[in-house]
């Protein structure tokens, strides 16, 4: 897969490129469009640009506000994983205020976040992503594959109850399929679990720096537990069904591993603090980062480069190049050195100043509101376009390689993650094992999501046991008081549902001087940076083979959509497609700030 | 906002935050003023109710005091 942009001259003279655009792929942080040029003669995607046409400006309007409001404001960044922002903001504020959440409070946050992962991954996987793999879609795009699916027995039929692969695909059919409907029910139950812990979904009302406002009591945890046990059957079946369908795709469509494939460049910022180790002090961040229940890490070509959150933090660079912003290199830096004395780059989020410059979209120049976050690999000097693998893929990959997570329910082995789930309503005690796959591609990103639901369910059991143990010992403290300092810096590292999440905070005069949230979508949907390196969506789709049986006239682009959706670009529920047969039908420009700024 | 022309804000940017003179929930020592919460991180039923709270406390000392919600 190409990592740098191909020039027009390199293309073959005989290529007949058809421009195709999917814009908007909606309900992500902003507005994602995928613009491609497809070479139907050779059945591959020749070129891809990912663009966002919406400016958010959180980093602009957060300045001057009371830092205690940050968690409540930044939660509004997203309508499905807002609580991840609140949590991450709480982490960053805890560091800036020099406080820590009491252990029982930390358990409550962990349980809330685990419920969020279970909720969000379920609704995304079964109600949105799997529409691309359902019987109706496969019938419309690859009828021969569906024929074969009808003849192929499902290897795990005894677990999920569907005899053939086509039966599973039918269960994925939107609005009618059994799995589709069950997933909606499960996402309701998991949302209830979330609300028990964090008060309200998706913008938590009981999450603050220094602790939680949730009242700890036995029924809080038993209500959560009974709901959790009620969904375990679904979780176990989902993993088996996912494995069956994805293995079938590899078998039925040889070469399908190339769909959405890119170099293994993964980032995971870690999730679920361990309250026994975590003190939120930057000086100890390497230690408490490694104690997290999903290990932070950067993986390059299958090798774990680091698990140190300090290294991860200092390596972050925000590049421009194809984004509608002015450079800030001439601005005053906010943080020249971190608390350990390491120099902090001007392109680091602590020092970033957002200077928007709205303009027309031009794929040869500037074409997106998304910046280009990259990670500086100090071994090679490369600026890596890390992706999150949709979240679970990077989380499982980094955790598996690091081998640090060792709990009664989840264990990282160095090459895999073993997840043990207890007996549930219909199915016996089950141990699942996610093994590091050969590729970083669409199917493996999707497969990891089902395993991570099981991971979250298993970790919830662990957090519940810990929380109830503390409560039995009489520990009821869930909040700590604090004062906002005149000056301070903080950084929070967490995993939003779809991948890495960091919040960087600078306080001056008890007000926010600089605040930069970096959610997963800027990493995944970033455009070409100043060095011409494409972002992960572009990289994964560019040069990708097309397996769809339809020609240009009734082309649905399902392979491209599977590749993009494998990254979980929030909720891609509304997809519009324009087919131009090589001609641009119409160009429209809508200036964000009105016609006078066109 | 760079070179973008923007209007004058109608309110101060930190308007929704703290009003002077009002006690802040996070203020130092506010935890010690919470009724029913103890210094050793335990709690009793006074945390949850003012009506005959002692009746809702644990009946034996070896039991954890788990106040009702």
Structural domain includes residue A292? yes
Q: Report in angstroms the alpha-carbon separations of A112 from A198, A202, A205, A293.
A: 6, 11, 12, 14
3-state secondary structure (DSSP) of residue A432: strand
pLDDT of A576: 31
B11 CA: distance to closest CA in chain A (Å) = 12
The residue to which tokens 């290294």 are assigned? A311
Which one of A209, A222, A476, A592 would you mutate to disrupt binding with B, by most B Cβ within 10 Å of its Cβ?
A476
Structural domain includes residue A543? no
Contact A425, A94 (CB under 8 A): no
Structural domain includes residue B6? yes
B51 CA: distance to closest CA in chain A (Å) = 18
Scored b (16 or more CB within 10 A) or e, A399-433 reads bbbbbbbebebbbbeeebbbbbbeebeebeebebe
Which residue range forms the structural domain that includes residue A419? 55-533
Please state whether beta strands A410-412 and A382-384 pair in parallel, antiparallel, or not at all (unpaired).
unpaired
The residue to which tokens 């959180």 are assigned? A58
Contacts of A219 in chain B (CB under 8 A): 69
pLDDT of A597: 44
Contact A52, A33 (CB under 8 A): yes
Determine the Cα–Cα distance for residues A252 and A133; give it in Å rounded to an integer.
Answer: 13
Render pLDDT for B2-27 as a digit per residue (tens, 0 to 9): 778 888 877 777 776 677 788 888 99
A451 CA: distance to closest CA in chain B (Å) = 35
Per the rule left: phi > 0, alpha: psi between -120 and 50, beta: everything else, A210 is left
For the cut 50, the answer to whether the pLDDT of residue B35 exceeds it is yes
Structural domain includes residue A587? no
Q: Which of A147, A404, A411 is nearest to A277 (CA)?
A: A404
Structural domain includes residue A305? yes
Which residue range forms the structural domain that includes residue B28? 1-54
Contact B13 A65 (CB under 8 A): yes
Nearest to A482 among B26, B48, B67 (CB): B26
Structural domain includes residue B67? no
pLDDT of A117: 97
Q: Does B22 touch chain A (CB under 8 A)?
A: no
* Local confidence pLDDT in tens for the 598 residues of chain A: 222 233 333 445 455 788 888 777 643 445 678 888 888 888 888 888 888 777 778 888 899 999 999 999 999 888 888 999 999 999 999 999 999 999 999 999 999 999 999 999 999 999 888 999 999 999 999 999 999 999 999 999 999 999 999 999 999 999 999 999 999 999 999 999 999 999 999 999 999 999 999 999 999 999 999 999 999 999 999 999 999 999 999 999 999 999 999 999 999 999 999 999 999 999 999 999 999 999 999 999 999 999 999 999 999 999 998 999 999 988 889 999 999 999 999 999 999 999 989 889 899 999 888 899 999 999 999 999 999 999 999 999 999 999 999 999 999 999 999 999 999 999 999 999 999 999 999 999 999 999 999 999 999 999 999 999 999 999 999 999 999 999 999 999 999 999 999 999 999 999 999 999 999 988 998 899 999 999 999 999 988 999 999 888 888 888 988 998 899 886 332 223 344 444 544 555 555 555 544 4
Give the DSSP letter of residue A44.
Answer: E
Which one of B7, B9, B13 would you mutate to disrupt binding with A, by most A Cβ within 10 Å of its Cβ?
B13
Determine the Cα–Cα distance for residues A459 and A110; give it in Å rounded to an integer.
Answer: 9
Contact A278, A100 (CB under 8 A): yes
For residue A528, what is the enclosing H or E element? none
Nearest to A476 among B1, B2, B42 (CB): B42
Determine the Cα–Cα distance for residues A291 and A306; give it in Å rounded to an integer.
Answer: 14
Determine the Cα–Cα distance for residues A461 and A455; give it in Å rounded to an integer.
Answer: 10
Structural domain includes residue A17? no
Q: Does A174 touch chain B (CB under 8 A)?
A: no
Q: ipTM, 2 decimals?
A: 0.92
pLDDT of A12: 52
pLDDT of A27: 39
Which one of B64, B65, B68 would you mutate to disrupt binding with A, by most A Cβ within 10 Å of its Cβ?
B64
Structural domain includes residue A579? no
Contact A201, A83 (CB under 8 A): yes
CATH number where A389 lies: 1.10.645.10
Contact B31 A597 (CB under 8 A): no
Q: Does B33 touch chain A (CB under 8 A)?
A: no
Per the rule left: phi > 0, alpha: psi between -120 and 50, beta: everything else, A150 is alpha
Contact A472 B64 (CB under 8 A): yes
Determine the Cα–Cα distance for residues A155 and A163; give it in Å rounded to an integer.
Answer: 9
Q: What is the layout of strands, in order, in the sheet containing A316-319?
A: A316-319, A372-377, A382-384
Structural domain includes residue A107? yes
* Number of domains observed in the structure of chain A: 1
pLDDT of B42: 92
Structural domain includes residue A540? no
* Number of domains observed in the structure of chain B: 1
pLDDT of A296: 98
Backbone angles phi, psi at A503, to 5 degrees: -125, 130
Contacts of B1 in chain A (CB under 8 A): 60, 355-356
Nearest to B31 among A60, A215, A481 (CB): A481
């Amino acid at each position: 897969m190409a990592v740098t942009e191909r020039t027009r001259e390199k293309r073959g003279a005989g290529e007949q490129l058809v421009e195709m655009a999917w814009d908007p792929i909606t309900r992500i942080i902003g507005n994602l469009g995928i613009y491609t040029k497809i070479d139907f003669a050779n059945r591959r995607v020749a070129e891809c640009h990912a663009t966002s046409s919406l400016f958010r400006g959180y980093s602009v309007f957060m300045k001057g506000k009371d830092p205690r409001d940050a968690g409540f404001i930044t939660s509004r960044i997203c309508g499905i994983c807002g609580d991840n922002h609140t949590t991450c903001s709480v982490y960053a504020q805890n560091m800036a205020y020099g406080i820590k959440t009491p252990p029982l409070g930390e358990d409550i946050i962990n349980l809330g976040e685990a419920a969020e992962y279970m909720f969000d991954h379920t609704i995304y996987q079964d109600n949105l992503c799997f529409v691309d793999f359902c019987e109706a879609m496969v019938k419309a795009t690859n009828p021969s594959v569906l024929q074969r699916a009808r003849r192929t027995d499902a290897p795990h039929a005894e677990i999920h109850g569907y005899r053939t692969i086509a039966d599973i695909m039918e269960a994925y059919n939107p609005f009618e399929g059994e799995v589709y409907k069950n997933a909606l029910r499960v996402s309701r139950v998991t949302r209830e679990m979330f609300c028990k812990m964090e008060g309200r979904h998706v913008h938590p009302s009981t999450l603050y720096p220094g602790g939680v406002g949730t009242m700890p009591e036995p029924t809080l945890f038993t209500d959560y537990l009974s709901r959790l046990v009620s969904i375990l059957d679904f979780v176990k079946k989902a993993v088996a069904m996912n494995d069956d369908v994805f293995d079938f795709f590899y078998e039925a469509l040889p070469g399908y591993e190339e769909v959405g494939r890119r170099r293994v460049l993964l980032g995971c910022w870690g999730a679920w603090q361990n309250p026994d180790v975590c003190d939120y002090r930057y000086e100890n961040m390497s230690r408490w980062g490694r104690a997290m229940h999903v290990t932070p890490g950067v993986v390059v070509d299958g090798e774990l480069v680091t698990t140190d959150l300090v290294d991860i933090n200092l390596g972050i660079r925000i590049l421009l190049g194809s984004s509608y912003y002015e450079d800030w290199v001439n601005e005053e830096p906010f943080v020249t050195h971190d608390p350990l004395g390491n120099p902090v780059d001007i392109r680091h989020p602590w020092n970033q100043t957002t200077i928007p410059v709205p303009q027309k979209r031009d794929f040869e120049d500037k074409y997106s509101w998304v910046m280009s976050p990259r990670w500086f690999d100090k071994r090679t000097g490369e600026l890596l376009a890390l992706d999150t693998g949709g979240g679970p893929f990077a989380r499982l990959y980094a955790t598996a390689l690091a081998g640090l997570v060792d709990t009664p329910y989840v264990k990282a082995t160095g090459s895999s993650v073993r997840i043990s789930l207890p007996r549930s309503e219909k199915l016996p005690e089950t141990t699942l094992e996610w093994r590091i796959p050969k590729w970083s591609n669409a199917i493996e990103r999707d497969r990891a999501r089902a395993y991570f639901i099981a991971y979250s369910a298993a970790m919830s059991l662990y957090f519940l046991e810990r929380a109830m143990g503390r409560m039995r010992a009489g520990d009821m403290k869930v909040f700590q008081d604090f004062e906002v300092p005149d000056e301070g810096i903080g950084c929070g590292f967490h995993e939003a549902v779809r991948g890495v999440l960091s919040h960087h905070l600078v306080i001056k005069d008890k007000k926010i001087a600089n605040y930069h949230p970096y959610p997963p979508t800027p990493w995944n949907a970033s455009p070409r940076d100043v060095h011409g390196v494409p972002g992960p969506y572009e990289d994964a789709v560019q040069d990708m083979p097309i397996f769809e049986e339809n020609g240009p006239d009734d082309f649905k682009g399902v392979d491209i959509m599977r590749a993009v959706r494998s990254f979980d670009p929030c909720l891609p529920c509304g997809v519009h497609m324009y087919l131009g047969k090589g001609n641009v039908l119409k160009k429209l420009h809508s200036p964000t700030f009105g016609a006078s700024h066109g | 906002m760079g070179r973008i022309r923007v209007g004058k804000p109608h309110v101060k940017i930190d308007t929704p935050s703290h009003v002077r003179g009002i006690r802040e929930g996070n203020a130092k020592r506010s935890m010690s003023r919470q009724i029913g919460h103890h210094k050793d991180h335990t709690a009793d039923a006074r945390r949850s109710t003012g009506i005959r709270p002692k009746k809702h406390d644990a009946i034996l000392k070896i039991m954890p005091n788990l106040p009702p919600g």
